[in-house]
């Protein structure tokens, strides 16, 4: 490993590297969950915007009562009481995601001088084939 930012600091044990790796994996899963939440936000918003065309087409087809129902009951509706999807995303970020990121960073700083991905960097080193051009350290 030529990159010192991924080298284990002096005194950091295997158990600590493993624990930090588990913490990192959990944060990565949270990143994926956050992405899914943004996808939910965008898909729901897109569906709501698509209702404009549905309402227009229902009216054009002579179905005013049904168009009115969609406008009244669905268009612009809260997805959970009092919240549109952007508010869910904001609350997730503020109450969970940011706290998780902060805790992971502070723990990494306390235990490994802030160095990230030590577990993965050591795994890479263990799995490389020495001298192979596609298995270089850096």
Q: What is the pLDDT of residues 10-43, one digit of tens each?
A: 899 989 999 999 999 999 999 999 999 999 999 9
**Greater confidence, 29 or 128?**
29
Give the mean pLDDT of 73-80. 96
**Spatial distance between the Cα atoms of 113 and 16, rounded to a whole number of angstroms:** 12
**Spatial distance between the Cα atoms of 66 and 48, rounded to a whole number of angstroms:** 16
Per residue in 86-107, pLDDT tens? 999 999 999 999 999 999 999 9
Backbone dihedral region for residue 116 (phi beyond 0: left; psi -120 to 50: alpha; all else: beta): beta
Give the mean pLDDT of 65-78. 97
Provide the whole-model pTM.
Answer: 0.80
Backbone angles phi, psi at 12, to 5 degrees: -80, 125
Q: Where are the domains of the chain?
A: 13-123
pLDDT band at 3 (very low <50, low <70, confident <90, very high): low
**Spatial distance between the Cα atoms of 108 and 106, rounded to a whole number of angstroms:** 5
């Amino acid at each position: 490993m030529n990159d010192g930012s991924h080298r284990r600091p002096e005194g950091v044990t295997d158990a600590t590297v493993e624990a930090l790796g588990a913490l990192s994996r959990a944060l990565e899963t949270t990143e994926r969950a956050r992405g899914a939440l943004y996808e939910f936000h965008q898909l729901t918003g897109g569906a709501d915007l698509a209702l404009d065309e549905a309402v227009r087409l229902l009216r054009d087809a002579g179905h005013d009562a049904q168009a009115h129902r969609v406008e009244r009951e669905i268009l612009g509706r809260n997805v959970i009481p009092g919240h549109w999807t952007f508010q869910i995303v904001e609350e997730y970020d503020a109450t969970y995601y940011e706290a998780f990121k902060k805790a992971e960073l502070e723990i990494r700083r306390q235990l490994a001088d802030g160095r990230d991905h030590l577990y993965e960097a050591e795994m890479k080193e263990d799995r490389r084939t020495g001298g192979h051009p596609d298995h270089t350290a850096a």
